[in-house]
Structures are given as C-alpha cells and as structure tokens.
C-alpha cells in the first residue's frame, strides 16, 4: 500500500515538473513582471497621474550605492515559476570594463538623478532587470534614448549605441528637463510644472497638469499615462513606471530622501552646505548633488561647481582644483603651473613645465613646486636661448646671460667686462693686439683702434689727426699740406696760351671795329667759361677747393681746352685776313 502510494506520488512529481518545464518553455527567456508577484510588493498608495514622483526623490543621488545596486541585480524583486527571486543578467554585464551597477551609480551622480530611477527606466523600456538572459543588442539600446525608432541610432551609432551611452543619454535628458523648468522654461517636448498638457494615450487622450518638475520630466520622455492610470490599456506608460519605482524602492529598503548628515542627498539651501562628491545644492530638489560642469562666472551652467577655488568638475562628481580638461587655476600661478591629474591639484611634473630659469622640485608642496634655478639634463638646461646654466654636472645652478664673458669673442676682439653687459670690443687698455700702427693706429681710444700722436701711425710721413684720432697718409711729392688737410698737384686751373695779335696798324674807326676787337681779345679758357660750382663740382673735393680732375671730368677738361685754342687761332686768322683785305682795298683807291 505504501509502495503503491509512493509510486503514484513519484509519477505525480514527474508530471508536475514536466508541466513546469513546459510552462517555462512557453514563457521563453523573459519573465513577465507580474508573474508570482505578491500583493505586498506593490505600492499601497494610489497612482496620481499629476504627481507621479516628487522632485526630492527624483534627484536623490544617495538612494543607493554601487554595492546596493549590485545586490539588487543579483536578487531582483521578480520571481520565477517556482516563486524564487530571479537574478538579472545585468549583474554580470560589463561595458568598458565596468559593471552595470557601477555604471548606474556613476551616471546617477553625474546627472544628479536617483539611481533607482535609472533601474526603473531600463526595466520599463527593455525589461533588462527581469530578463533571465541578455540580448547584447537590447543592452546597447537599453533606454531607447536618442533613437526610439532606431533611425537616429543607425545614423549616429557612435553617439547613442552602447550600454553606458544609453544610460548617459537618459540621465542627461532628465537633467535637461529639470533644468529647463528651473529656468522657467518648458522641456523640449513642451511639458512644464503647473501647466496642463495632453497625453498621447489611445483611444482617449488625458489632460495632465504636472504637480512638480520631476513628473513633467517623466511625461516629457514618455507622454503616455498607461494601463494602471486609466489610460492606454496596451501600454505601461508612466503609471507602470510608478509601479516599478515602488517595487524597486522596497527591494532596496529605500523609503525616500534621507535627512542624515551625509552629503549624499542631504537637504540644503546653498552650495556652501554641500561638499565631497555632492558639492552642489540643487535648487530643484533642495538637496546636495554631484557637479555636472566646471565653474563659470557667467553665464552659470546647471549644477556647475559653485566656486573658483575648486573649479573643475571631476568624474566622481566632486569639485577639484583642476582636472585633465581644466587647469585654469594652475595657469594663474607661477609656482604650480600645471595640473597633476592623478592628484587633482596644481604642481609641476618636470623642469620644462616650470619655464625658463626654473626647476621643478617634486619634494615641495603636495604635487611639486617650481623654484628659481637650472640644471643640465640630457645636454640641455632650462635657462632658455638667452642664457646658460653655470652648473653643467646635473646639479642645481643659476642661469647666466649669454655674453662674451661666457661665450668669448670672435677673431682679435676682446671682452670688456667693465660694462654692465660684457661686450666684445676692438681693444681695451692693456689689450691692443687688434690695433696696428700701419692700420687704424696702434693706440686704443674708447675701445677702438686709433692714435693720439704721430708715432701711433707708424711713421713714413703718416700723421695723427688728434681731433678724430685717425691716422692720415703722407702728402704727395711736390704738394703742400696744412693741419688736418692735404694738397694735390693740379689744384689750380691751367689757362691755354693765346698768341698775341700782330703789331700792325689798327683799322680806321667805325670800319671793322667789331672784327678788330674780336681778333685782338684773348680767347677765354675752359676754367673761365666753366667756373666751379659753390661747394665743389666735377673733380672737386668736399671743401670746395678744386683738385685734379679724374676719369670723365679730366677728358672733358682736355677737350674744352683744345677746342678753345682752336677757335682762338681761327679768330686770329680771320682778323689777319680782314686787315690784309683792307690794305689792298686802300692801295687800289690810292
């Protein structure tokens, strides 16, 4: 009897297991969200389409940390057919080397959004929390953000496709909707707190008047009330979002924004009450949240770092002195000019980062400081092009300006170190190797070679002009000299001799007088016809005294002298002919 009952029980168990297996196969890999749900896991409050979630809850970034989110994904509030809690495939999913739980919390802090809200959205859009396995493509379009119909994602996959990019997109979209309303504007879809709008429920659209900014932001993303709220019976909509938030909050033991002393979501009136990874007071929620942008004086960006002392918004949400993309605080200082990124503070990394004439002393300050000095490394120093380091063995030295004192002088020049900036000169007292008596002079006068007396010029008739300290060459043979001047032969003008008129009788008065006068007068010389212009001319020196003509001037002088002589002789010949003719005429009359 007992054996018979045992046999029947075994057969019933096999049948039951078979039925469960068949049901599981029929259900596929996605669990229905309401399968096996107990009533006590649903929210006990009534859904209000105008007040879905309050602002403080929506922006409570401290609602759950990464470890809590990870535990939630490993044991979700959903149950399988055996009423056992399921494990989400997101519990082991990684993108860019980070677990999904870490990505959720990082995005929550970056955009000032409750991490539970991000979990709810990924379930509402793709059921990725309740699924039993994970479709890779579904994870890459987790929120359908930026491409609800897939078209935009196909056009710009680099911007939207990817699990992390999708979470970033959704977080940024919610934050933009909150910030727009905070500035008194509607969301990009036209929703705004206190302003009535029409939902897209079918077949009957509903009038919605959002009681707060968070509710308006949800409708801006999903403008459908859905089945639980009396709207479209074929869609979950915002009412399903509300139901999921209540279930997830209970699973995470979250009962609303905390008023504890922790910065994570603590109440605030100004950012001076916030610090750490939540340094900004969000006016929307009245709570401390992570920063979203670097400090800027005007116009201020939403959730930007509040002070210029800590202007750089880091990936953790904290405001730091500097970051890889913001080193403005460092550039304003001479001793700590660069951002040491791994320490998020200003300092220096090497001598080159400090500039010319400085070295980086890594043992000073939290991240090194620049100090005056130089040292030679790999054959180069930090003094720049105009100076050299006086220490060449790698030790710390001082930069010295490159002058003749350090670089020397070319040729026979000497370095005058008595000047403020040592300079190469021709000579100095006691250093006259570049000066020669047969050259400019053997004496040194004001750092230049010259003379102070005739003997400095080497003799041979050379003399010293004591006014200019310059040696003068000897005067040419036969010439004369005067102090500071010299005379050359041929200075005076040479007149061409004209033969005297023959001693014959003078023509009678009133007959041939003009011809007689022309023949009796001497022909003018070239010098008389061409007096030198004032101040000199061709073949003249600067003093105005005429000197020997040279080149073209000399040839012209000879030409005009010969021409003058030729015309003088011709004039005399004509005069003689005239007088001879006059005598013959007189004789015939007689």
pLDDT digits (tens, 9 = 90+) for 132-179: 888 767 778 777 787 766 555 666 777 788 888 888 899 999 999 998
- What are the Cα distances from residue 461, in Å, to 438, 455, 476, 484? 11, 10, 10, 14
* Higher per-residue pLDDT: 197 or 420: 197
407-447 pLDDT tens trace: 778 888 888 888 877 888 999 988 888 899 888 999 999 99
Q: Which range, 59-68, 153-162, 500-509, has the best average confidence (pLDDT)? A: 59-68
Q: What is the mean pLDDT of residues 361-386?
A: 86
pLDDT at 10 over 50: no
Q: What pLDDT shows up at residue 29?
A: 40
Give the pLDDT band (50/70/90) at residue 513: very low
Nearest-5° angle of CA 236, CA 237, CA 243? Answer: 70
**Mean pLDDT over the full length of the chain:** 77
User: Cα(517)–Cα(322) distance, rounded to whole angstroms?
Assistant: 111
Contacts of 357 (CB under 8 A, 6+ apart): 372, 373, 374, 382, 383, 384, 387, 399
Nearest-5° angle of CA 95, CA 99, CA 101? Answer: 120
pLDDT at 356 over 70: yes
Contacts of 25 (CB under 8 A, 6+ apart): none
Give the pLDDT band (50/70/90) at residue 32: very low
Of 290, 238, 227, the closest CA to residue 50 belongs to 238
Q: 191, 198 in Cβ contact below 8 A? A: no
Q: What pLDDT shows up at residue 158?
A: 75
* Higher per-residue pLDDT: 413 or 45: 413
Q: What pLDDT shows up at residue 572?
A: 75
Distance, CA of 487 to chain centre: 70
- HSE at residue 22, side-chain half, CA atoms within 13 A, is 6
Q: Which two tokens stand for residue 448?
A: 């230049």
Give the domain ranges of the chain: 39-251, 258-320, 414-474, 515-532+564-577
* Higher per-residue pLDDT: 221 or 570: 221
335: which DSSP letter? S
User: Cα(129)–Cα(115) distance, rounded to whole angstroms?
Assistant: 14
pLDDT at 94 over 90: yes
Q: What is the mean pLDDT of residues 46-55?
A: 93
pLDDT at 530 over 50: no
3-state helix, strand, coil in the chain (%, to 5): 35, 15, 50
* Higher per-residue pLDDT: 13 or 360: 360
Q: What pLDDT shows up at residue 311?
A: 93
Determine the angle formed by the axes of helices 513-520 and 552-589, rounding to 10 degrees: 140
pLDDT at 520 over 90: no
Q: What pLDDT shows up at residue 576?
A: 66
Q: 381, 359 in Cβ contact below 8 A? A: no
User: Cα(314)–Cα(306) distance, rounded to whole angstroms?
Assistant: 13
pLDDT at 378 over 80: yes
pLDDT at 208 over 80: yes
* Higher per-residue pLDDT: 515 or 230: 230
Q: 30, 132 in Cβ contact below 8 A? A: yes
Give the pLDDT band (50/70/90) at residue 247: very high
Largest CA distance in the chain: 210
pLDDT at 191 over 90: yes
Q: What pLDDT shows up at residue 44?
A: 45
- HSE at residue 228, side-chain half, CA atoms within 13 A, is 18
Q: What pLDDT shows up at residue 555?
A: 62
DSSP codes joined into one string, 59-91: T-GGG--HHHHHHHHHS-S-B-TTSPBP--GGG
271-314 pLDDT tens trace: 999 988 889 998 777 778 888 889 988 777 778 899 999 999 98
Question: Residues of the chain with pLDDT > 70: what percent?
Answer: 73
Q: Is the pTM of this model over 0.75?
A: no
531-553 pLDDT tens trace: 544 444 444 333 444 444 445 55
Count the residues in the chain: 590
159: which DSSP letter? H
Q: What pLDDT shows up at residue 420?
A: 77
Q: What pairs with residue 131 in β-bridges?
A: 30
pLDDT at 23 over 50: no
Q: What pLDDT shows up at residue 152?
A: 59
Of 575, 567, 491, 576, the closest CA to residue 525 belongs to 567
Distance, CA of 589 to chain centre: 118
Give the pLDDT band (50/70/90) at residue 196: very high
Q: Which range, 227-241, 247-261, 392-406, has the best average confidence (pLDDT)? A: 227-241
Residue 18 burial (10 A CB sphere; 0-12, 13-18, 19+): exposed
Q: What pLDDT shows up at residue 163?
A: 87
Exposed e or buried b per residue across 153-176, where buried means at least 16 C-beta atoms within 10 angstroms of its C-beta: beeeeeebbbbbbbbbbbbbbbbb
């Amino acid at each position: 009897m007992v054996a018979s009952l045992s046999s029947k029980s075994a057969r019933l168990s096999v049948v039951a297991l078979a039925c469960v297996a068949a049901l599981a196969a029929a259900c596929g890999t996605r669990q229905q969200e309401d399968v096996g749900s107990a009533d006590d896991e649903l929210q006990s409050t009534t859904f209000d389409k105008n007040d879905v979630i309050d602002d403080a809850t929506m922006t409570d970034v401290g609602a759950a940390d990464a470890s809590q989110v990870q535990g939630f994904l490993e044991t979700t509030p959903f149950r399988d057919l055996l009423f056992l809690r399921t494990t989400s495939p997101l519990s082991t999913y990684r993108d860019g080397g980070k677990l999904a739980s870490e990505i959720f919390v990082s995005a929550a802090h970056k955009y000032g959004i409750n991490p539970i809200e991000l979990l709810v959205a990924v379930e509402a859009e793709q059921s990725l929390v309740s699924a039993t396995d994970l479709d890779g493509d579904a994870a890459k379009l987790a929120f359908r953000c930026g491409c609800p119909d897939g078209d935009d994602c196909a056009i710009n996959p680099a911007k939207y496709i990817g699990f992390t990019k999708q979470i970033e997109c959704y977080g940024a979209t919610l934050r933009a909707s909150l910030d727009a309303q905070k500035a008194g504007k509607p969301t990009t879809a036209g929703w705004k707190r206190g302003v009535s709008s029409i939902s897209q429920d079918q077949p009957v659209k509903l009038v919605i008047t959002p009681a707060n900014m968070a509710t308006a932001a949800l409708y801006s993303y999903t403008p459908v009330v859905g089945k639980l709220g009396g709207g479209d019976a074929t869609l979950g909509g915002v009412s399903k979002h509300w139901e999921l938030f209540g279930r997830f909050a209970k699973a995470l033991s979250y009962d609303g924004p905390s008023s504890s002393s922790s910065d994570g979501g603590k109440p605030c009136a100004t950012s001076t009450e916030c610090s750490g990874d939540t340094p900004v007071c969000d006016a929307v929620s009245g709570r401390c949240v992570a920063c979203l942008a670097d400090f800027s004086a005007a116009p201020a960006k939403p959730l930007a770092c509040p002070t210029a002392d800590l202007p750089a918004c880091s990936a953790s949400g904290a405001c730091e002195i500097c970051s890889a993309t913001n080193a403005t605080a460092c550039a304003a200082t001479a001793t700590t000019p660069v951002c040491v990124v791994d320490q998020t503070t200003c300092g220096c990394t090497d001598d080159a980062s400090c500039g010319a004439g400085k070295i980086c002393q890594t043992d000073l300050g939290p991240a090194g400081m620049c100090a005056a000095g130089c040292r030679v490394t790999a054959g180069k120093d930090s003094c720049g092009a105009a100076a050299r380091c006086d220490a060449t063995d790698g030790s710390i030295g001082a930069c010295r300006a490159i002058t003749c004192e350090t670089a020397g002088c070319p040729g026979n020049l000497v370095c005058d170190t008595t000047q403020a900036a040592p300079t190469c000169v021709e000579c100095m007292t006691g250093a006259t190797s570049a000066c020669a008596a047969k050259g400019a002079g053997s004496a040194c006068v004001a750092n230049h070679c010259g003379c102070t007396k005739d003997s400095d010029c080497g003799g041979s008739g050379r003399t010293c002009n004591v006014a200019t300290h310059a040696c003068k060459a000897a005067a040419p043979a036969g010439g004369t000299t005067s102090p500071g001047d010299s005379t050359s032969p041929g200075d005076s003008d040479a007149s061409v001799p004209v033969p005297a008129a023959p001693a014959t009788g003078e023509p009678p008065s009133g007959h041939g007088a003009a011809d007689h006068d022309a023949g009796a007068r001497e022909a003018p010389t070239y010098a008389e016809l061409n007096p030198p212009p004032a101040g000199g001319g061709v073949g003249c020196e600067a003093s105005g005294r005429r000197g020997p003509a040279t080149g073209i001037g000399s040839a012209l002088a000879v030409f005009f002298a010969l021409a003058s002589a030729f015309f003088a002789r011709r004039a005399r010949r004509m005069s003689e002919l005239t007088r001879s003719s006059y005598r013959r005429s007189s004789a015939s009359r007689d």
